[in-house]
Homo-oligomer: A and B are copies of this chain.
Amino acid sequence: MKSNRSVTSKDVAKLAGVSQSTVSRVFNPNSNREVKPDIKEIVLDAGKKLGYKPNIIARGLVSKKTNMVGVVVANPIGPFYSKIITELTSKLQQNGAQPLIFTLEDQEDIQKIIDKVLQYQVDGVIITSSALSVEMADECIENDLPTVLFNVYKNHNKISCIYSDNRESGRMVAKLLVDTGHKNIAHITYKKQAFTIVERKQGFYEELKKHGIEYIIEESCDYTYEAGYEVGLKLIQKKNIPDGVFCVSDVIAMGVIDAIKNESDLKIPEDIAIIGFDDIPQASWKSYDLTTIHQPVELLIDKSVDALFKLINKTSTEDIIEKISTEIVIRQSTRNIKK
């Protein structure tokens, strides 16, 4: 009953009076050779007595499958991605793979991380960090490693991408603002370039242009509440204060809201409407009640994991591309009707 990490199949074989091969077959769920039930029983008993557990590392070496999946994440990350990591991780485990996390620090050498991912012999990898993900994906694929880009799209055959429709989301926000009578509009974007961010912005600008709005106040900042607060202050000090603000993330939008509430007499949404992006849990908290774009996180995760396993199991040899629709969630930070 006493278990021990150093018990091997050889020990079990000796106790059970069978060959080591037989022990292997009994404990290997993927073995194609069946073992006679009575022998199986004896082996299982011996295994239990010794506390035997197959060594997955050794198995991985010969079977070329480690049942580990690499998950590449950026650090630092906000609440949106934190939640994604946890859920992605859980979903992978449900699919029988253990997630091995690789953190891409702000100034870290991306090549070092790629090498590590490759060295650990993971069965596949999901890359969630949009910053440099395409470069990374390229190299993983060159090495025949099944790879899925999470929330990034790159038109390059062989790279699988599961992403939400950021461009259309931007358009939806623009439509809402136009429909509720806004003319003087601001956009707060992220100060670094990233696929999702650029798409949101382009969709937003395109749609506004279609409705004759060409002049847009643009600010950029970090992906934090504090940065949003700062930008909020800047906005209310302008001669020409916007009456509708689309923020590239909820966290930023919340900073903007608090800046307006605390440092001006402007009313939200009567004087100024605020829209975010992501629909993090805090967006629905009463103090913010933020109109925002809901990213279907669960669907993105499910599709990404499914896609990855299709690639791993060679159920699909093509790259898998899926664009997921978002929804706009109207709450109290925007007006319902034309003013």
Chain A residues with a Cβ under 8 A of chain B? 2-5, 53-58, 60-61, 66, 68, 73, 75-77, 79, 82-83, 85-87, 89-90, 93-94, 98-103, 105, 115-116, 118-121, 139, 142-145, 225, 229, 254-255, 257-258, 261-262, 281-282, 285-288
Question: Contacts of A119 on B, CB cut-off 8 Å?
Answer: 53-56
- 18 examples of A-B residue contacts, CB within 8 angstroms: A3-B142, A3-B143, A55-B61, A57-B57, A57-B61, A57-B66, A73-B86, A73-B89, A75-B89, A85-B85, A89-B103, A100-B100, A225-B285, A254-B287, A255-B285, A261-B286, A262-B286, A282-B282
A101: which of B5, B98, B115, B261 is its contact (CB, 8 Å)? B98
Question: Contacts of A116 on B, CB cut-off 8 Å?
Answer: 98
* Shortest distance from the beta carbon of A160 to any chain B beta carbon, whole Å: 18
Docked-complex contact B118 and A90, CB < 8 angstroms: no
Question: Contacts of A75 on B, CB cut-off 8 Å?
Answer: 86-87, 89-90
Docked-complex contact B98 and A120, CB < 8 angstroms: yes
Question: Contacts of A89 on B, CB cut-off 8 Å?
Answer: 73, 75, 101, 103
Question: Contacts of A101 on B, CB cut-off 8 Å?
Answer: 89, 93, 98-101
Give the residue name and chain of the B residue nearest to A76 (CB). B86
Docked-complex contact B286 and A258, CB < 8 angstroms: yes
Question: Contacts of A90 on B, CB cut-off 8 Å?
Answer: 75, 103, 105
Docked-complex contact A57 and B54, CB < 8 angstroms: no
Question: Contacts of A287 on B, CB cut-off 8 Å?
Answer: 254, 257-258, 261, 287-288
Question: Contacts of A254 on B, CB cut-off 8 Å?
Answer: 285, 287
Docked-complex contact B55 and A57, CB < 8 angstroms: no
Docked-complex contact A120 and B57, CB < 8 angstroms: yes
Given A5-B121, A57-B61, list of 10 further CB < 8 A pairs? A68-B100, A73-B89, A75-B86, A76-B86, A98-B116, A229-B286, A257-B287, A258-B286, A258-B287, A287-B287
